[in-house]
A and B are shown apart, each in its own frame.
Chain A
Amino acid sequence: MATDLVPEVVQPAAGSSRQASPPKRKRRTRNVPLWRDLLRYRWLYLLLLPGLAYFVIFKYLPMYGLTIAFKDYVPFLGYSGSEWVGLKHFQELFTGPDFGRLMFNTLLLAVLTIVFVFPAPIIVALLLNELRVNVLKRSVQSLIYIPHFLSWTIVASLTYLLFSVDFGVIANFIHGIVGGQQADYVAQAAWFRPLIVLQLLWKQTGWGTIIYLAALAGVDSQLYEAARVDGAGRWRQFWHITLPAIRPTIVVMAILTSGHLMDSGFEQIWLMTTSLNRDVADVFDTFVYYIGITQGSFSYATAVGLFKGVVGVVLIFGSNLLAKRLGQRGLF
């Protein structure tokens, strides 16, 4: 059952080909009242109910809660009772001393991610694709997927254990080569961003290859045979067949990535933040936590979060539009 799951499910994105509805279950026409549908499909609606309740309570109620970004929320007065202050909190954010720093830190991390982390799984997938010993290929895959399943606390702990002064294996190793004063990698601001990128590479590169490898596996082998007959060497086959084959996948992943430019990964950043690197470590996500949870300024923190969320929506729709303009298939 499971083995033939992929080919079947991947295709029907267009999926309307099936005649789903049995004859007796016609679409509701205008003259059938609502209660009749409810009665007829009562079991299905009953099954739907708990999940729907979850979405209403934990997804849509918080969206209603976003209104406190425009109020001075006092828990005692509740959402609707608190005083309406309009854009006060947004003004505070945009004119305040933190905004520039938060924006810079968030965007710089995003740029570093795009430059170093985004291409890594593509490169590794292409290299894996060139491996012809299947056992080796599968073994390498099994090993490089592992870090994806480890929590950020474990990743941060490993980083501390490996890079700390005196005990850290890697810190000592670098010190042995470079000499001089030993750097405190985990505390110093200068090493914050390199460590973040390193962690992302270690944790996500292997996992990221899956989707590209699937795209590569779908390439028709006849294309390669035809190219070979025409005298194309290995490099030419790579350039003219392999690379174009995964371009749509790369575009989709790029759209998804750019939708998350503002999401710096709360857990990772939070765990790597120390009192010495706060200046470079603070991003919108962690700032919301400091302001909201630590200091209790719920309204201001909500405004910061809302700003971030809206930019995220704009980014994902924008990059989708851009991809379509450039002649690629977008996400939606």
Chain B
Amino acid sequence: MKQRLRYYDSVGSRTFDVLNVLFLIGLAVVTVLPLLYVLAGSFATESEISSRPFFLWPHRFVTSTYHYIFSTDTFVRALLTTIGVTAVGTAIQLILTLTMAYPLAKRFLPGRALVLNLVIFTLVFSGGMIPTYLVVRNLGLLDSYWALILPLAINPFYLIVVKSFFQELPEALEEAARIDGCNELNVFLRIVLPLSKPIIATFSLFYAVGIWNDYMSPLLYIDDSKKWTLQMIVRQLTAANADSANVLQQLETVTFPEQGLKFAVVVVATLPILFFYPFLQKHFAKGVLIGSVKE
């Protein structure tokens, strides 16, 4: 104990500690500052955004940008679309992942190794963008909301993690249920799923964030701007080379604080994620770590 105190108290060691603390606090601040600035800017007037170099609290607090974006069809439709696709998509992803992971967790199941290898192979190699696009097109899913859900229905990484979780569940419980005459389906529904609540919570959040944030799928599969998701709107409004004129005519024709508008749209697209962040954080580290285990 004495030795420990002495060595931590050396001048060099303490200097390092001070610098280290300062650096890491600085890093955390730099990470969140852009978000706070955009949040503050979304409540500021246009003149304040252009005149003040940087601020985290607007002089005049206005909500007119939010009133405006929520009064446009384009934005409200995109928001509702995104919420709907995220909800339905997450449910489908969860069902498919859980039902597939359970049989894969049964070591005695003939053919299990083959299927597992098929899954793992997709982590190393894939058909790529165009062949996948053609499959979606040939299925007649272009311009359908299903195109935003089905091609991403199972994340192979998540599947393997859930499978590992199922393998760790106590076999005795399942065995008892079998002896009582439960078939495998009922064992899965009545014994295994109730035990899996934490992992279901984790992956529903992971999946939901994935769909909410997805930009590539709508870009590839959705031409009809009436079916665009929030991420497409964000892109159209804020990108430097965005061809926003014809898409968001409605937004453009009204003379409106353009910067504030962008700020507000970014905030609305980000807020749900930040709202769920504390729940995510409770579980995600575990998800990442189990996912790193090799099979």
Contact = CB atoms under 8 A, between A and B. Distances in A.
Contact of A309 (B7, B126, B216): B126
A223 interface: no
In terms of DSSP, what is the predominant structure of the interface of chain B? helix
Interface in A275-303: 275, 285, 288-289, 292-293, 298, 301-302
A157 B154 CA distance: 29
Contacts of B115: 48, 52
A52 B24 CA distance: 46
A147 to B, nearest CB: 6
Interface residues of A, number: 115
A325 interface: no
Contacts of B3: 228-229
Interface in B265-295: 266, 269-270, 273-274, 277, 280-281, 283-286, 288-290, 292-295
Contacts of B11: none
B66 interface: no
B181 interface: no
Interface of B: 3-4, 7-8, 10, 13, 16-17, 20-21, 23-25, 27-29, 31-32, 34-35, 37-38, 41, 49-50, 53-54, 95-97, 99-104, 106-110, 115, 118-119, 122, 124-135, 137, 139, 150-151, 153-154, 159, 164-165, 167-168, 171, 175, 183-185, 188, 195, 197-199, 202, 209, 212-216, 219-220, 231-232, 234-235, 237-241, 259, 262-263, 266, 269-270, 273-274, 277, 280-281, 283-286, 288-290, 292-295
Interface of A: 1-2, 5-6, 8-10, 12-13, 15, 18, 20-22, 25-28, 37, 41, 43-48, 50-52, 54-55, 57-66, 68, 75, 124, 127-128, 130-133, 136, 139-140, 142-147, 149-154, 156-158, 160-162, 164, 166-167, 169, 172-173, 176, 186-187, 202, 206, 210-211, 214, 228-229, 233-234, 252, 259, 266-267, 270-271, 273-275, 285, 288-289, 292-293, 298, 301-302, 305-306, 308-309, 312-313, 316, 331-332
